[in-house]
Amino acid sequence: MAKEKKIQDYDWCYNALRYYVDFVLKLSYRNVRYVGTENIPQNGAVIYAPNHTNALMDALVILAMDRKPKVFVARADIFKNKTAAKLFRFLKIMPIMRMRDGIDEVRKNDETISKAVDVLQDRVPLCIFPEGTHQAKYSALPLSKGIFRIAFQAQEMMKDMPLWIVPVGLRYGSFFRFRSTVRVQIGDPINVREFIEEHSDYPQQVQINLAKDMLTERMKQSMFYIPDDENYAAMYEICAATVMKQSRMVKRHPENAHLHELDAHFKANNRTIWQVRDMSDREPEKAARLLQLGNEASQIRRAKNISMSSVAIKYPFWSRVLKLLILIALLPYCLPVSILTLPIKLVCGYIFSKMDDMAFRNSVRYLVNLVLWPVLVIIYAVVAFVVLPWQWALAVTVALMPAPIVAHEMWRLVRLGVSDVKLLMSGELRRKYREIRKYIIIRK
């Protein structure tokens, strides 16, 4: 009788598809940056613990971090369809019940935990989103206990192998826009064996709660974290209004002189959040006025449909005017490829109309481009070779390859150009931002 194949076992088809999946992921963002990969332990088993903000894209970004295979854990309700369950197993995703599914369902997790332990014993990284669900915010949700139950049970069975929980912070430039940016920061890992030994006097339930607190704090340190309260929108607006000045100040330090732009923005936003919190403690009335300005600016900007990019980038209007001039020069190429990518837009638009959760939009765009664009290229290539000389047909086919990116960038520049003009014409909003910047002290 053939031995049952484990979910973590080598699969040549999966490995071959990985190259294409990772390639399309990199094309889906203008910039994908991994920071702190040296923190990933090499001497044991690893559980990645990322924040969950962007549906499927979170898993794909973690998967593309390196060429190592990874096994993921996802909520069990998406496995109810047998065909979907087979697909998820092929993609190395295991089901796990959540408390909201009911206590009887949660008891079924023993099999999943056993398989997860087996994955870790084979030194295959396991990825668990400890928040249990996603939210499209620069914030955090309470962690579930499942990741710690798996970690503690696995460590108990792996006496001679250290196990690490590695916090990961995902920071997207936009949760909903295609070809935004994503920054992935690997935080300070938790050695599970050492943690258990240091807290051996406590019962396991207390150990789990203490581990939750530690992981929560380390995840927050690795991400752009704004408390999800009544001031969230104001804080986000204040960060955007001051990020360029704060970034320049960050780069004045010798060790930050050559800091990557995404890293500078990360540090700048954290500086701003710290300053607002400090102001709230020292000068609460001043902080209240600043937050009021942030809320007012947010409401005006949203009402006028002005992009946050117009706010966060200094002198965006003239820089984008230059790009628009280049775009105009390339219109003979950009317009035809935009028309040829309309099927992708139409399919995405139809799926969006059936969805309530906007956080899935980038996942849908990614999957539609992954599957549909190669099909369209083949169709267009066949037509080209039928109606054109082969030399011209070959040139047309090659020119079509980057069409989805070119089309998207063209409309992105148009959209941002319109947004910049709206900001330029909104004197009230620009006055709000100037006042906000006066409150935030930019200092070394």
List Cα–Cα distances, 223 to 29, 53, 138, 163, in angstroms: 18, 11, 8, 23
d(CA 334, CA 328): 9
325/390: higher pLDDT: 390
> Each residue of 363-373: pLDDT tens digit?
999 999 999 99
Determine the pLDDT at residue 111.
Answer: 77
The domain segmentation of the chain, as residue ranges, is: 12-222, 232-304+428-439, 318-425
Q: Is the pLDDT of residue 139 over 80?
A: yes
3-state DSSP helix/strand/coil percent for the chain, to nearest 5? 65, 10, 25
Specify the range with the lowest mean pLDDT, choosing from 161-170, 180-189, 380-389, 407-416: 407-416
Determine the pLDDT at residue 228.
Answer: 76
Mean pLDDT of 317-330: 77
Nearest CA-CA partner of 308 in 137, 423, 425: 423
Mean pLDDT of 327-333: 86
Q: Is the pLDDT of residue 20 over 60?
A: yes
Q: Is the pLDDT of residue 268 over 80?
A: yes
Distance of CA 97 to the CA centre of its chain: 24
Q: Which two tokens stand for residue 414?
A: 């148009």
HEC states along 227-252? CCCCCHHHHHHHHHHHHHHHHHHHHH
Determine the pLDDT at residue 444.
Answer: 46
List Cα–Cα distances, 215 to 63, 128, 129, 155, 359, in angstroms: 21, 13, 12, 17, 24
Specify the range with the lowest mean pLDDT, choosing from 114-128, 227-241, 313-327: 313-327
> Each residue of 58-86: pLDDT tens digit?
999 999 999 999 999 987 777 877 887 88
Domain 12-222 fold: Glycerol-3-phosphate (1)-acyltransferase (3.40.1130)
Mean pLDDT of 134-155: 91
pLDDT confidence band for 315 (50 / 70 / 90): low
Determine the pLDDT at residue 101.
Answer: 56
Q: Is the pLDDT of residue 443 over 80?
A: no
> Each residue of 101-119: pLDDT tens digit?
555 555 667 778 888 889 9
What average pLDDT does the chain have?
90
Its pTM stands at 0.91
Determine the pLDDT at residue 102.
Answer: 54
CB 64 within 8 A of CB 50: no
